[in-house]
Amino acid sequence: MSSNGFFRLKRSIVPYFLILLVTVVAYWQVALMQHSLIWDARDIFLPWRFFISDCLRNGVLPVWNPYQQSGYPFFADPQSGMWYPVAQLMALFGRYSVYLFNAEFILTVAAGGWGLYRLAGSFGLSRHAALFGGITFVACGFYVSNAEHLSWAISASCVVWLFWAYRMLLTTGRLGYALLGALFQFLVLSGGYPAFIIVSSYLLAAFFVSSLLAGNTQRAAVLRGNILFAVAFLVLAVPVIYAFSASMPYMTRGAGVTLQKANGSPFSPQSLLSLLTPFATLKNDEFYRTDISMRNAYMGLLGLAFLLVSVVLPGMRRWRGIAVASIVCLLISFGPALPLRAWLYHYVPLMDLFRFPSLFRLFFLIGAVLIASGAFHVLIATGRVYVGRVRLVVLALPVVTGALVGYSLYRNGGIGGNYHELFVNMGEFIRRSVFRQLIIVQGSVQLVLLLLILFLLWWQQGRYFTSRVVLGLAVADMVMATQFNMYGTVTDKERCADMQHAIAFAPTGFPLPDMAAGVNTRNDDAMRPRMKPLTANLNNFCKNIATDSYSPFILSRFDMLAESVVRDSAWGNPVLYLTYGAVPDSPGVVLPSRRHVAVDSKTFQRIPFSYDARDAVQLTSFRPGHITASVQVAHDALLVLQQVAFPGWHIEVDGRKVMHLTGNYCYPVIRIPAGSHTVVYRFAPRLLQVMLVWYVVALITLTVVLVAFRRRLF
């Protein structure tokens, strides 16, 4: 490589390195493996990633998770990550750990910044203006407040890359961008929260229509590209769509959600306060009227200033479409405060399938950061001719911030409080503080930063308000804002080393469950003392069968059992057990004893079953989706497997396939004749094997095409 080529390469990778560096600094507690993510990240996504890794490293496909909800179809859970290529690739780095989990989050957030940088650059913005957008995005309120929702972070990062690829397709007509767009949209579908694929698809359709109406000169090429984009995505998505459709009839939420739930956890209008003082979002649920993870949309003081000044800057007309889309998304995110979300729920297909209006704020933030970066570009490109307009906006911000701080001081009765803990124990300060104290703390810091910006704008007519200075101020602003909220919505006091120490004791492989204990004794409460500081879904680590589960994915049949009086009698038995009497599963039925089962047929009531003390059941193998056992009975009996009878279970007795009934509302029950037998349970839905092959072939084919024909495609 020539020296010129080396310097071009070095110059091209610097922005990506800087965005990664800002991500590491902003989230240093996570990046440097001091603490891991909290709440759902620790309780849902970490155990699931661990389960996927252990399965793949032991030669098992993670299609069935036997350890939660008495077993459930892991492949059909839209947030499990089973179809997400990155989750599978992580198994190559060794057994999944807290450290890999932290690294995945940091790289996911950095990837979002890289995507925003490329997206901003596709609008012809300068490197510094695009870099401003990337830096602002990695530490925006969406990532900070939704750090617990790994699938949301994945969605945000993949969506910006999707928008970049689609914009490049619309502007160049090159087919390579259609294939890249299909790949990124598939990553949103397979690794993200399902609602984001729905919303982003509608936005892409709007961009396509607006491009045609604007008289795109490459209309034929764009049409070909869009057809290829749609076809490639559908080819990739076939296995995931199959998985979702297979589970929809059996989920408690398969038919959608109510309007009340669809409007739950919005980005309430009061949450606009987060644009100035995101620290204040950590307190006062009564004021915000929404969940703590849904009320932060911080985009930096400079980002907000540039966004506001863009209204009066020349050359910003090309951003009108993005501005309209951003404002509409912001208004939808308000949920029940406005009728827009209800209108979408009633009249727009698929909009009745998901909750959390606050997720729309992501699309507002993407548009707002892009427009702010565009305004920054205009200011620098025009030689600071319009700096005076920025002064007026920035001057208004300290006035508003000062009023907030002043009012909070008045309500607080002065500056009194435990502010010394800010520098000793931020988590403890947050726990003991009140809403107005958080405004006082961050508002004071914001005032100092705003006054510094004003000084640079006025001193020598803004001579030193350069792009590098703006970038430096943006980094300082975003890092400080992230650190203020770090111990509120990103992490807590639990150390990575302690969490990893608990995981290290998890058994390797898939040991046989304890046949002397009922499944109801293998729950999180029993495991928690030896798995501290981990708190939920611990059975994925300990390899115990559990009936409890912390997951939004719940099968309706299992839920029926969990709410019935049959539950305690059934769950007092081990995972595989013999019964000697059957009763119909009519509503309110009570089992005469633990040796009875409620079935969906009265057939067994007419067959005499006799208990014999010599009867025995012994598990010989227990792997996810594949169970073998030897059974010895003196007389005919019933054999119950406490794994949910989701379609796809195949049962063989002595090599002969047998049909099963459904017992206790959700478990497979078979008749065992007198004698010694080998019983095999295998979870293998008819189309699942085909879909798994399809998935691998489609991904490999797309990768090979993109690499081998990159010169022709791009």
Half-sphere exposure of 124 (CA within 13 A, CB side): 7
Q: Are residues 626 and 644 in the same domain?
A: yes
Q: Are residues 319 and 175 in the same domain?
A: no
- Residue 267 counted as domain residue: yes
Query: What pLDDT shows up at residue 598?
Result: 92
Residues whose CB is less than 8 angstroms from the CB of residue 268 and which lie 6 or more positions away in sequence, other chains included: 288, 289, 290, 295, 334, 335, 337
Query: What pLDDT shows up at residue 54?
Result: 96
Determine which of 226-240, 371-385, 465-479 has the lowest per-residue pLDDT on average.
371-385
pLDDT, tens only, 590-630: 898 888 999 986 666 666 678 898 999 999 999 999 999 99
Structural domain of 579: 559-683
Structural contact between residues 113 and 456, judged by C-beta atoms closer than 8 angstroms: no
C-alpha torsion angle, residues 540, 545, 551, 554 (rounded to 10): 150
Q: In angstroms, what CA-CA distances link 52 with 46, 86, 521, 529, 683?
A: 10, 11, 24, 24, 17
Structural contact between residues 211 and 170, judged by C-beta atoms closer than 8 angstroms: yes
63 token code pair: 């299609």
- Residue 8 counted as domain residue: no
CA–CA gap between residue 201 and residue 154 (Å, rounded): 16
Query: What pLDDT shows up at residue 5?
Result: 54
- Whether 443 has a pLDDT exceeding 90, the answer reads yes
Q: Are residues 476 and 404 in the same domain?
A: no
Q: Which residue has the higher pLDDT, 427 or 646?
A: 646
Q: pLDDT grade, residue 15 (50/70/90)?
A: very high
pLDDT, tens only, 526-561: 788 888 899 899 999 999 998 988 898 999 999 999
Structural contact between residues 548 and 517, judged by C-beta atoms closer than 8 angstroms: no
Residue 475, H or E segment: helix 467-485
Residues whose CB is less than 8 angstroms from the CB of residue 511 and which lie 6 or more positions away in sequence, other chains included: 543, 622
Query: What pLDDT shows up at residue 413?
Result: 78
Half-sphere exposure of 568 (CA within 13 A, CB side): 4
Q: Are residues 226 and 262 in the same domain?
A: no
Q: What amino acid is encoded at 184 in this protein? A: F
Q: Are residues 356 and 398 in the same domain?
A: yes
Q: Are residues 457 and 472 in the same domain?
A: no
Query: What pLDDT shows up at residue 359?
Result: 98
- Residue 508 counted as domain residue: no
CA–CA gap between residue 569 and residue 547 (Å, rounded): 13
- Residue 1 counted as domain residue: no
Residue 703 phi/psi, 5° resolution? -65, -45
277 token code pair: 């003082």
CA–CA gap between residue 621 and residue 509 (Å, rounded): 11
CA–CA gap between residue 441 and residue 17 (Å, rounded): 32
Q: pLDDT grade, residue 522 (50/70/90)?
A: low
For 552, counting Cβ atoms within 10 Å of its Cβ (0-12 exposed, 13-18 middle, 19+ buried), the class is middle
C-alpha torsion angle, residues 561, 566, 569, 570 (rounded to 10): -40
Q: Are residues 368 and 457 in the same domain?
A: yes
Q: Are residues 344 and 445 in the same domain?
A: yes
pLDDT, tens only, 677-701: 999 999 999 899 999 999 999 999 9
Q: How many domains, the chain?
A: 5
- Residue 282 counted as domain residue: yes
Q: Are residues 308 and 420 in the same domain?
A: yes
656-658 and 581-584 as β-strands: parallel, antiparallel, unpaired?
A: unpaired
536 token code pair: 């939920």
pLDDT, tens only, 184-238: 999 999 999 999 999 999 999 999 999 888 877 688 888 999 999 999 999 999 9
Q: pLDDT grade, residue 7 (50/70/90)?
A: very low
pLDDT, tens only, 307-327: 999 999 988 989 999 999 999
CA–CA gap between residue 184 and residue 162 (Å, rounded): 5
35-37 and 616-623 as β-strands: parallel, antiparallel, unpaired?
A: unpaired
* Mean pLDDT along residues 335-351: 97
Q: Are residues 563 and 532 in the same domain?
A: no
Query: What pLDDT shows up at residue 170?
Result: 94
Specify the length of the chain in residues.
714
Q: Are residues 361 and 404 in the same domain?
A: yes
Q: Which long-range contacts (CB under 8 A, 24 or more apart) does 336-341 make?
A: 336/263, 336/266, 337/266, 337/268, 337/269, 341/262, 341/263, 341/266
- In angstroms, the first-to-last Cα distance of the chain is 23
Structural contact between residues 73 and 67, judged by C-beta atoms closer than 8 angstroms: no
CA–CA gap between residue 27 and residue 23 (Å, rounded): 6
Please identify which residue in the block is written with the tokens 């992490």: 491
Q: How many CB atoms lie within 10 A of CB 78?
A: 23
- Whether 524 has a pLDDT exceeding 80, the answer reads no
- Whether 419 has a pLDDT exceeding 60, the answer reads yes
CA–CA gap between residue 586 and residue 80 (Å, rounded): 34
- Residue 329 counted as domain residue: yes
CA–CA gap between residue 245 and residue 227 (Å, rounded): 24
CA–CA gap between residue 116 and residue 369 (Å, rounded): 9
Query: What pLDDT shows up at residue 347?
Result: 97
CA–CA gap between residue 342 and residue 23 (Å, rounded): 37
pLDDT, tens only, 653-677: 999 999 999 999 999 999 999 999 9
Residue 293 per-residue DSSP state:
G
CA angle 72, 77, 81 (to 5 degrees): 115
Please identify which residue in the block is written with the tokens 């490589």: 1
Query: What pLDDT shows up at residue 214?
Result: 81
Q: Give the domain CATH number at 611.
A: 2.60.40
Structural contact between residues 98 and 498, judged by C-beta atoms closer than 8 angstroms: no
Query: What pLDDT shows up at residue 521?
Result: 63
Query: What pLDDT shows up at residue 2?
Result: 54
User: What angle, 0 to 180 degrees and rounded to 10, lies between the N-to-C axes of helices 194-213 and 320-333?
Assistant: 150
Structural contact between residues 177 and 225, judged by C-beta atoms closer than 8 angstroms: yes
Please identify which residue in the block is written with the tokens 């969906």: 600
Q: Are residues 669 and 714 in the same domain?
A: no
Beta bridge partners of 356: none
Structural contact between residues 367 and 342, judged by C-beta atoms closer than 8 angstroms: no
In whole numbers, what is the pLDDT of the chain averaged over residues?
A: 92
Query: What pLDDT shows up at residue 6?
Result: 45
Q: What amino acid is encoded at 463 in this protein? A: R
- Whether 364 has a pLDDT exceeding 70, the answer reads yes
Residues whose CB is less than 8 angstroms from the CB of residue 63 and which lie 6 or more positions away in sequence, other chains included: 73, 74, 75, 82, 624, 625, 683, 688, 692
- Residue 506 counted as domain residue: no
- Whether 140 has a pLDDT exceeding 60, the answer reads yes
- Residue 6 counted as domain residue: no
CA–CA gap between residue 140 and residue 145 (Å, rounded): 9
